[in-house]
Amino acid sequence: MIIATLITLAAAGPTWSRAPNPLIADTAPLVIALKVTESMETTDLAPSRLDRAKFKIADLITERAGARTALIAYAGTPHRVAPLTEDANILRPLLEGLTPAVMPKQGDAAADALTLAQSILGESESPGAVLFVLDDLDPSQVPALSNSTHDLFFLTMLPDGDRIAQLGNVQGASTVAFTDDDRDISRLQRQIQSAYTAALDDDDRLDWQDKGWMLAWPAALLSLLWFRKGWVIRWALLALFVLPPSGARAEGWRDWFLTPDQQGQIAMNQKRFGDAAELFDDPYHKGYAYLKDGQYEQASEIFAGLNTAEAAFAEGMARIRNREYRPAIAAFETALERRPDWPEAQHNLEVSKAILDYVETTREQSDTGEEAGIGADDTVFDNDEARGSETTVQAPQDGPQTLNAEQWISTIDTDMQDFLRNRFLLENQERAE
């Protein structure tokens, strides 16, 4: 009776948490607000508080591989350094360029930074969090921080685990003190993920996750008491030799208990995306696993064979990450045909067109090949031997060849601090207007 009760309850599908959805990021989006002021250049944390903060942020980005992270710098005014992105290679060079010298106004505008962070998270479908990395907080900023609509976390950049007294007045915030090892980052990551899991319970777009399988284990253990010498073995042998084999795939003991899609989901939860792609039978989930694993070409091929708006959208994401901008534009247009007025697809379509226009403009401006070493003959004057006579030198033909569009972009050399300083000044001017 106990076994029957457990099995009945398991079949009823008890649940208390939401199931992950491939269309919604499986890790909390995070906006990091870094305080960039002169106080952050104090050297009590060698080489400085700001440098150690950059190291910690870089470690957190690495720990959150595959998750979307945005970066804000603030002093007297807040500025968006990078939008939500999964590409750590975009964040790291921008992070390195942040110094007090690039900030147009000194001060502590933590409340304005929170407003900017919440506007960034408002563009995401998933519930997110805001992390402040700072060494002090103006008491006047506390009331606005206490009214945050998102989960707030603080990483304090002070030696010996010192606390910032004002943070104790920020309601609902979690504070983690700086440590010389990675304990602070691990603790932050756990807290952010826990807050994200709790927030998902309020997301009606997600199905509830069936937890009935947990009751199968005590039922299986109790079923051992049902065995009696002889007769159970006879029936088991009869079933083994008489019953026809099932059509289920038999590639190990896991296939006796789990379907390929269930095994694929387990691999996805463990972030073994390549293994998940091989395990999934469902084509959409297989394509999504390839996308997360960085195998964009395989993901594009799978999504292209599906006839849903979501598949076209995912194909566009895979194409654009594979730098196939024209096919990405076509995929997002297909997604809009299948689901008109889809804001995310419209936004990505505009981004794809902007990237393509930038790539083609850059290539057209560099068609002379001068930067690649292929151009007109160089005219030189040899004043030592020919006394100023004009001679010409033919450029070698076996040298570097014309670069493709992506290589042209990578050759653009701009000082990051000058870039950020000019951008922040422009943003302040636009706000003033």
Length of the chain: 433
**254-363: which CATH topology?**
1.25.40
Dihedral angle computed from the Cα positions of residues 416, 421, 423 and 425, in that order, rounded to the nearest 10 degrees: 180
Instruction: Say how far apart CA 63 and CA 211 lie, in whole Å.
Output: 28
Strands (DSSP E) contained in 334-430 are 378-381, 390-393
| Rounded (to 5) percent helix, strand, coil in the chain | 50, 10, 35
* Contact in structure between 298 and 290 (CB atoms under 8 Å): yes
Cβ neighbours for 378, distance < 8 A, ≥ 6 positions apart? 392, 393, 395
> Tens of pLDDT along the chain (433 residues)?
888 888 888 888 787 666 655 444 456 789 999 999 999 999 999 899 999 999 999 999 888 877 889 999 999 999 999 888 888 788 888 898 899 999 999 999 999 999 999 999 887 766 788 999 999 999 999 999 988 888 899 999 999 878 898 898 898 888 999 998 999 999 998 888 777 766 555 555 556 677 777 788 888 877 776 665 655 555 566 555 555 554 444 455 666 778 888 888 998 888 888 999 999 999 999 999 998 888 999 999 999 999 999 999 999 989 988 889 899 999 999 999 999 988 888 888 888 888 888 888 877 766 555 444 444 444 444 444 444 444 444 444 444 444 444 444 444 434 678 888 888 888 888 877 7
In the beta sheet, which residues pair with residue 33? 72, 132
Instruction: Say how far apart CA 318 and CA 314 lie, in whole Å.
Output: 6
Instruction: Say how far apart CA 421 and CA 102 lie, in whole Å.
Output: 4
pTM confidence score: 0.53
Q: Map out the domains of the chain as residue ranges.
A: 30-200, 254-363
* Angle, vertex CA 21, rays to CA 20 and CA 27, nearest 5: 60
Choose which CATH entry (3.40.50.410, 3.40.50.300, 1.10.3720.10, 3.40.250.10) describes domain 30-200.
Answer: 3.40.50.410
**Secondary structure (DSSP) of 141-152:** GHHHHHT-SSEE
